[in-house]
Chains A and B, each alone.
Chain A
């Protein structure tokens, strides 16, 4: 595969992208009020991590990180499942998935 051997010069950029993605995901998590979108933003952050891991994996020529990404995806899937079910349950209680409605617990 010729493509990969010349990829080195792009790795820095991928790192940059992943950092940016992480920040964007964080911004989304902070600003969006829809719980599902919020969950998506967190998925975005996880993907940023995945991208970074793959980048480093390519850099080190080491498969461990890619396995790690695989597990991250597993975890993300599990989290998404549980998260969505929590959202459903919460929706049943408050009839809303607006995160700002959930502020009975405070101070």
Chain B
């Protein structure tokens, strides 16, 4: 099959699935709907694999021309290179697993067909995003995934209790993403202005030809792109939407808000590596933001009680970690973490989804406990996910995190120490979550307990596959330490196949340092595992109710008051401004001002009509008076 045809099929299959499910979904049976959607994505995955196999440098597939400007042309064209193919593999791969999972998870939902068509649409948009060969196409996907995210977050808008909250969460996500999109747009404008092109390759080549190193425009562009990335990838200051986005169905959280969409920001930065290399100040900003995000969100996750919220903050934290890597210029490292994170975070989310499904929509971990026996497969896979994210040695998360730590250690010891704290916190809250959920006594009441059940095959199968991936994902990019021959496969793969990354070589620590690092990291992770085991399993420490929290715990539980601060600083002033303009400026001043002028003019009629007094004598008088004025006018005129 020719390359472009393959690509088109890869792209169009999810779109087709969307169309078929969207239009005919209501008439089809639920099984069929789910199968169509899943098969569409899975076929895409297979085809994407063939792309991966046949990958040969960078290839551009041009479909059609969108805009033909005097200065530039914008095409709907797609780029097939290591980066994009890798991303599409993640998207379609994880995507098809999650589709599979959803068949079971959503089986009781009214909007079944809608859900699958949205999911397919999301996959389509995401593929557009990563496969596009220019920023314009990327933007299509960028907004498209935002749109799908909105649709899926507020999917349960009809819910009796949470309907409004769900839709508000969707709105919040969309608006925050829009802020980022605005940044991206501005960046695009600047790029167009500077390069008369939005093609990655063209921009990169012209940059390579003549470097505008550190010029203001580059900084501006990089800043704009980074703002876009913070919006999409939920970094400070635009991260608060992601926890709220957990209002969506759990597969959505797994797919969009953990594995794929939120990593679009990382993808954007990796894609634009050549730009960021020219704007070191923004790279530093990326680093600082990443550090702050990873630390703060990890802290917040410590005392959350909603199983999905914890995972959401964990996601934010992990994304922060990736940004740290980007801040160091270690693009392939960041992407490696994206990959492993996609595995284990999807696993964790799906696991939590399974739990929620089994618990009949109960999400509060304070009401769980002892589920290990009731849901063995879920428990086992969840444990693997937890260990992977906590950095237990030999799990995939261990390797990818280790790479980032290594970068940090190499560049900046302070950053490293902050990362250590953040990683430790990650392990703490993940084990807290794990132990509280699966061990101890069931706290949800007998009534609920009797109903708890293990999920069906369509749900457990993806869990199993993801668990396997989470365990072995690290193989992709083993450190050079042990496996000289096959080491850094991913690094090489990416940097050879992606424009701009050829010139960037990741630092690899020397043997001693690497060993020390690994041992230290393993110690910390295992230590926390043991500590958590004692604290939460042996002692049976429970999540406290809100009233018993100490001050730092309150701080954590209330999410560092970010939402409140935003409300106070942004939302309320905007509302006040709106009320002022709408009610006072627009109505009182402008509208009534017009009325007042009109009334003023017309009410002089009350005066002017009195001139017409009704007495003939006065009429004659005024006529004479007018005559006198005429003559006086003349006299004045000749005398002047």
Binding site for B on A (CB under 8 A): 26, 29-31, 33, 38, 99-100, 102-107
CB distance from B137 to the nearest CB of A (A): 74
B614 CB contacts on chain A under 8 angstroms? 103-107
A107 CB contacts on chain B under 8 angstroms? 609-610, 612, 614
Secondary structure at the B interface, as helix, strand, loop or mixed, is helix
With A26-B624, A30-B624 known to touch, is A99 a contact of B609 (CB < 8 Å)? no
CB distance A103 to B621 under 8 Å?
no
Chain B residue with Cβ nearest A102: B616
Number of A-B contacts (CB under 8 A): 30
CB distance B617 to A99 under 8 Å?
yes
Cross-interface CB contact of B617 among A100, A104, A106, cutoff 8 Å = A100
B620 CB contacts on chain A under 8 angstroms? 26, 29-30
**Highest count of chain B CB atoms <10 Å: which of A38, A99, A107:** A107
CB distance from B598 to the nearest CB of A (A): 21
Tell me which residues from 613 to 640 in chain B have a Cβ below 8 Å from any Cβ of chain A: 613-617, 620-621, 624
The 23 sampled A-B contact pairs (Cβ below 8 Å) are A26-B620, A26-B624, A29-B620, A30-B617, A30-B620, A30-B624, A33-B617, A38-B616, A99-B615, A99-B616, A99-B617, A100-B616, A100-B617, A103-B613, A103-B614, A103-B615, A104-B614, A106-B612, A106-B613, A106-B614, A106-B615, A107-B612, A107-B614
A30 CA to B615 CA, complexed, in Å: 10
CB distance from B608 to the nearest CB of A (A): 10
B616 CB contacts on chain A under 8 angstroms? 38, 99-100, 102
A106 CA to B616 CA, complexed, in Å: 10
Tell me which residues from 594 to 617 in chain B have a Cβ below 8 Å from any Cβ of chain A: 609-610, 612-617
Chain B residue with Cβ nearest A104: B614
A33 CA to B617 CA, complexed, in Å: 8
A20 CA to B593 CA, complexed, in Å: 53
A102 CA to B618 CA, complexed, in Å: 12
CB distance from B613 to the nearest CB of A (A): 6
A31 CA to B620 CA, complexed, in Å: 9
Chain A residue with Cβ nearest B617: A30
A105 CA to B615 CA, complexed, in Å: 9
CB distance from A20 to the nearest CB of B (A): 15
CB distance from B126 to the nearest CB of A (A): 77
B610 CB contacts on chain A under 8 angstroms? 107
B617 CB contacts on chain A under 8 angstroms? 30-31, 33, 99-100
B609 CB contacts on chain A under 8 angstroms? 107
B615 CB contacts on chain A under 8 angstroms? 99-100, 103, 106
CB distance from A48 to the nearest CB of B (A): 14
Chain B residue with Cβ nearest A41: B620
Chain B residue with Cβ nearest A23: B624
A40 CA to B621 CA, complexed, in Å: 17
Chain B residue with Cβ nearest A31: B617
Chain A residue with Cβ nearest B605: A107
A100 CA to B619 CA, complexed, in Å: 12
CB distance from A35 to the nearest CB of B (A): 9
CB distance from A9 to the nearest CB of B (A): 27
CB distance from A84 to the nearest CB of B (A): 16
Closest 5 CB pairs of A and B: A106-B614, A103-B614, A107-B609, A99-B616, A30-B620
**Highest count of chain A CB atoms <10 Å: which of B609, B616, B621:** B616
Chain B residue with Cβ nearest A105: B614
A26 CB contacts on chain B under 8 angstroms? 620, 624
CB distance from A57 to the nearest CB of B (A): 24
B613 CB contacts on chain A under 8 angstroms? 103, 106
A17 CA to B621 CA, complexed, in Å: 22
A102 CA to B612 CA, complexed, in Å: 13
A30 CB contacts on chain B under 8 angstroms? 617, 620-621, 624
A32 CA to B614 CA, complexed, in Å: 16
A103 CA to B614 CA, complexed, in Å: 5
A30 CA to B617 CA, complexed, in Å: 5
**Highest count of chain B CB atoms <10 Å: which of A29, A33, A38, A105:** A29
CB distance from A83 to the nearest CB of B (A): 13
Known: A100-B616, A107-B612. 14 other contacts (CB 8 A): A30-B617, A30-B620, A30-B621, A30-B624, A99-B616, A100-B615, A100-B617, A102-B616, A103-B614, A103-B615, A106-B612, A106-B615, A107-B609, A107-B610
CB distance from B292 to the nearest CB of A (A): 77
